[in-house]
Structure 1
Amino acid sequence: MLANTRRLFRLSSLKHRLVLLTSVLACAAVLLTTALDHTRERNAADAHQRVQAQALTAHIATLTAAGVAANDTGALNRTLEAFDSFPHIQRLVVTDRQDQVLAAVSRTPRGTLAPDGQTQVGAVHISRSRDLRAPIGPIAPTGWVHLSLDAPPRPPFFTATTALLLALILVVAALAVIGILRRPLADLAHAEALASALPAGTLIPPPRAGALDETQALSEALLHAAERVRQAQDRLAASHARVRAITDAALDSIITIDAAGCVIDFNPAAENCFGYRRQDTLGHPIAELIIPPHLREAHNRGMAHYLATGEGPVLSRQIEVLAMRKDGDTFPADMAIVPIDLNGAPGFTAYLRDISGRKQSEQALLEAKSLAEAANQAKSDFLANMSHEIRTPMNAIIGMTDLALETRLDDEQREYLTLSRDAADSLLSIVNDLLDYSKIAAGKLDFERIGFGLRDCIALSHRTLKDAAERKHLSFTYHVAPTVPDHLVGDPHRLRQVLINLIGNALKFTESGHITIHVGLTESTADSTELKFSVEDSGIGIAKDKQQLIFDAFSQADTSSTRRFGGTGLGLTICSQLIDSMQGKLWVDSEPGKGSTFHFTARFERASAPAAPITRPAETDLGSLRILVIAGNEASRSHLTGMIESWNMLCDTCASGAEALAGFSGEGPEVRYHAIVADTDLGDMSAFRFFERLNAHALAHPPIRLMTANAGQRGDAARCRSLGIQAYLSRPIEPSDLLDAILLAIGTDGIQPLITRHSLREQRRRLNVLLAEDNKVNQMLALRLLEKLGHATHVVNNGLEALAACESTHFDVVLMDVQMPEMGGFEATAKLREREAVTGRHTPIIAMTAHAMPGDRERCLAAGMDDYVAKPVQPTSLAAALAAIVSGDQRVVHREAAAAVASRPLTAFDQDTLLANLGGDRELMMQLATLYLDDEIALRESLKIACSGGDLQAIHSAVHGLKGAVANFSADSAMAAASALESVCRNGETERLDHAITQFNAELDRFAEALRGVAA
């Protein structure tokens, strides 16, 4: 039974399910209606009986009123028994007011009413009875009548009529449902047939007319879908046909395999390449067909790895493999493998191309290249060896010729030997070019990586060819921009070789006029720098269409140049190769008849430990020095003036000795010069004659005297001493030598031996300096100043790090900031002096302080320091302090920053003063500005935090740190506001604190805005 019921409810037919549902709903409706009618009839019968019983009870109460009043029990019993004809009455009881039974009758088994003798109203229990009570008496009850009636019989709920009606309704409902659903079900069956035909693309006739809208729409949608499926299948078939045609016509082998590695497609090109027929390969493992045996294991591992991870190192890229033909022959092939989808399973298509012919061609090319390189190497080796063999006797010829020229010769002999030496020099130059070119071709040209001084290198190049320039009466000068760093790492010999080659060309093609070397800065970082070199001449020039030709090997602008000036045509080619190796480029600007300028760039590393120039023995404010330059040659005068003005010195010039002497004639107010720099040739007289005539003037303030010469002559030193000339420098004059000579002569008032290039070298000493400074701007400034002074510097950020550095390394001097985090300068000095009390070794310490207040030097000395410099640190102040430490004489006069500020109007940022302090180094000024702006937020945030806490000591420390950074920029207004705020903090003037902070922040904003214009 249960199984049949389950099968019934598992009917899959929509028609059967709808009939069953309709029947169940109809039965439920009939049963519900019958139940409602039965309930309504029963309630009506109950209500009718209740009304009749109440009326009967009231009637009995009326009939028994007299008997109750008379207390006549017998009369009462007779009255009650008279109601025997009412079959529903089961018991009647009459009571008095106290419910004491006066008379009582009950239905006997015979169906009659008879007295029951019970004295209690409820003594007789009657099941399924209804009890009523009515008062006896019209106004005040004298007793009660109690009536018990049995319940009327209830009609049956489910009758035969009801069952018949229910069956009839079920039959009618089922027939109605079947009739209504017959057409829609037929339409659904048609739609089902359409859906079943979709995958196959079979066409089904459209639905019949009269179908429901829904089924009509469904059928039409299915018809459209069927049409689209058919069209897609047609396109897919056409695409497959095209792919097959392409595959069959492809020149490359195309092989498709499944996840098991078995072939499922093998195109005709693959048949021709591997020697298999397509039908012989289908279903066979690819590894057994085209992969050599020793590579099959690797192939299987790769397949397994891809199937496990979905990744493959050779997929979707071209690789070179070794393939195998049917006969076992192997050949190289280019292969690309692409993963494809094979009905949800992974597959692969491999594209292979036989590259045996290409490999053979490549091998032939490699062999030919090797033969050519071997031949070229043999040629280069031969040239290198021959050049070396020729150089040895040539050097001997030149040397012996020079020795012969130093002996006594008549004019004819000297002329012959001079011609021989010049010819030997020319031949040696040609041999050198051939040697370098052969080294370049042979790959044997090595580059050194050593530290060197750029200006020394330029000066040496200048000195090498200055005699040749003098013989042609050419002005030959050089100029290095002040911003160009001097201490570099690279190959100075190769740089000098390029310069000498370019200068030599300029000398060769210039008959009159000048040759000038310019060096400028194009790019600079913390680690490297790129420089631009220019060699300018006033020679014959080069035509535009010939300018590229001159850089080719063995080429010159025209053949007449070779006949007239000589040369191999290799010089510029060698220069170009050398410059390429220095990460630069070479080019030329020229016009015929107007001269040429050869430019080249080169990149060098910056040296971490530069060579040291001389330390200055005393502090001197360079901007206050006034120098007179006298030179008859304009190029020499311009060269000297450029160097002096780059140090912010005041410079006047004269083109002749007479013009200069006129200024000392006494006819006008005497111009006080700190020094006179006179060239050997003053045009109208020699420098010696000028100084002789100058000595005849009684000068109130005689200047220091310096003389420059093209070449030193015997007896010049004695004449200098006799004329009171303090310094004598021969060309080429290096800027550091000229500056050192001026400052050394001024600092000693000329009371010392004659200053020459050699004496400057002997006095030079390089110091190992420890810089303890926490502010990044101050660090950079001090580092650059120390670098320019030639000292090696190690940087630490606080006193603790300074102590650790001094423990591990010996320093010649320590530059110590006074206020630093973790440990300040005074505390670090005290700790260091405690150590030195044990070791017995003394390290000089120079304090750096931004206070610049009276008594600072005494406080520093009391703390154990040897000297101090005020911030902002001036180059001359620092040089003087270091010189005093070296010499042991610490009687140094310090320029107070406060006095300097008071002497000029307050400004947000004095760019001119800053540039003067930095020696005209605009690059350094921009770097300092950028560094301050980068750190400004952090510096001002520390002040903000200190102000929010209200701690005057913390505010003072934060202001001092900002003041130390700002002081470097000659920011007078900000410095004044900082000093005012420091004073408020020191004196505890809390009522002025907010105003002082606001004023300081406003000045910092002004200063930062001005500084952004410099950093931009």
Structure 2
Amino acid sequence: MAIAVVTILLSLTVAALNALVRYRALLRKTEETAAELKAMFDTAVDGIIKISAQGEILSFNASAERIFGYTEAEVAGKNISTLMPEPYRSAHDGYLMNYLTTGNKKIIGSGREVTARRKDGRTIEIRLAVGESRIKGTRQFVGFVTDITARKKMEADLHHAKEQAIEAAQVKSTFLANMSHEIRTPMNAILGFTELLMNTPLNELQKKNLGIVRSSAKSLLALLNDILDSAKLESGSTELEMRDFSLHQVCDQVIATLSLAARKKGLRLSLNYAPQLNEFFRGDPLRIQQVILNLLSNAVKFTERGHVTLWVRQATSGKGVIIDVEDSGIGISTDRLEKIFAPFSQADSSMTRRFGGTGLGTTISRQLVELMGGNISVTSTVGEGTTFRVTLPLNTGKPVEGNIYGDEEIRLPPLHILVADDVPQNLELLTAMLESRGHTLVTASNGRQAVEHFSRQPFDLVLMDVQMPDMNGHEACQAIRRYETQQGLSPTPVIALTASVMEQDKRQAEAAGMDGFTCKPISVIELTGEIARVLGRQAASQHMYPELRKNDLQLPIDYEMGRTLWGSTQKHLKAIRRFMDSEGAEDRLTPAFAQSPQAAIAPAHRLKGVAGNLCLPQLARCAGSIEALLKQEDVAEIPFLLEMYQQSLTEITELLEEQTPTSEPAEATHAPVEPLDIEQLNTLISLLQKGEIPEETFAGLKMQFPADVADNVAEALHDFEPERAADLLITYKKHSLACHDDVE
């Protein structure tokens, strides 16, 4: 028994000692773990706050102290709402109670950005994530806090910078649009009237001087186009037009364009188009042409002797083409190759003085190539030459016929055209340009006048300037579309004439209901091409005239215009009857044409003028078309036009027989539409007497004058005679005041 008792006691002693050793080891490990956790808690970058179910703060780590400015001793036992600004502080206990009662989580288990309150009263932006734990059945919550004040400030700064960048881009876009319009408007007159003068008899000195004017104007316009192209490409507003085209034709045209310049310098300019390469591709031919033209023109400019060669071949991958422009020119140094595509950069600072140019050609080429999904590179050796390589991922296209670039003027049938433009020189230019091609024009100086003309008579086409006083082109086009809808008329094609060439200008024109878009300065080739496009015609042919006759709704007699010119409808009709009795009843054109086509030119010209003065637009149009075709020695369509001419005479005769004093159109009243503002009238007269041309002031008062007074004053302003306009208004003012006194 003694042995057993001793054995048991020894065993218990050993077990107790073993348990004590294990306990000390576990205690030491627990203390190490606790110390490690406390170290992690204290050194965490984010603030860690433990709170009870009642919202009391149980622990507060060092980062939390740094974020909120409190020490752990200052906040221990206090409600967590101490760290919240109003209104969150008052509502916090309600949020917590709602969760404990319903279990509806709003922030537990997720994170959100909230506002907190520091000890010094400042509010800060924090990101708060809250987790829940249960220890011995007791709920506790742990909040993880990150100070995001600096990040929020940076985001606000970035947002502000973005707004400033957007505003700057809008200002830049507006500036470019205004600059384009302001420069292109006078350029339109300079280039247009220069071209008209070049077609008149001139001596050698005059031709030389006009040639210099035209060349300088085109250089200025080219510079403006380069700047606008670069700006549009940088802003991403340039859109590509995808269509089938002949790449070989594009290259041939560029070579032909630069052949004269190359020949003057004694250079060999050649095209090497790979025989196995397909001719037709699908892409934007005008942009590809622009790239090739920029690179080739640079090559010709910087090559004094030797050759310039355009190589076109299949890409190595089998998809797309490679275009090389190789020259034997001055070359580019290695340190300048990387900068050659930078805006306004050239290979040498002396290049601008020696060769001219802005350095935008290669920049625009790179931007266009990248826009088309290709790439461009350059290799060069100083004194030996340069090679630009363009790789374009073009897909094979379908064969197309004809010249797709419209570099030849399309002949159109005689058209009745309404032209609206607030610049008198533009109206003069368009009148001279289009009437010489057999068209009949009615002009308006603002959108409101254009709408009035359109409501009085039909037109084949409307050319509408966009920026006009009183009513701009967009508003006028919308008014025309509403009128057509109300009257059940088919839409008349409207082409925008504008010096603003940004992409947004085209979209605005389309949104206003316009069918076409032509940029100023006006090019006859581009204008006739656009007219042909909106009319659904590609070229004039004998089949177009019967179609024109079928759709020709032009009035044989324009009563409204006749009343304005002749003073009354009775005087107008009397003049027409006198003409018909003396000359009109006898067909003099047909026998003259039968005798000799040249013999019919003079009577056709005379008839056109007389018919225009008598407000017989259909007859004037036929005579003008006959005269234009005879001058061009194109007699194929004359028989048909003579038939139209005879038919017009018959219609005029029938209308005259139908006219009686009771059936004549009512005389237009000349009373002002609005009451006369004497103070504004005096201001206008004062400005005119000082030699100014206050078109905007006159436009604001125009509706207050009778039609004849307004027209006479407008004519005086058009002729740059402000003193005569002032005298007319003074006379009208005296007459108006006298009538007013008589009434009283």
Verify same fold: TM over 0.5. Answer: no
TM-score by length of 2: 0.44
TM-score by length of 1: 0.34
Greater RCO structure (CA 8 Å; 6+ sep): 2
Q: Name which one, 1 or 2, has greater alpha-carbon Rg.
A: 1
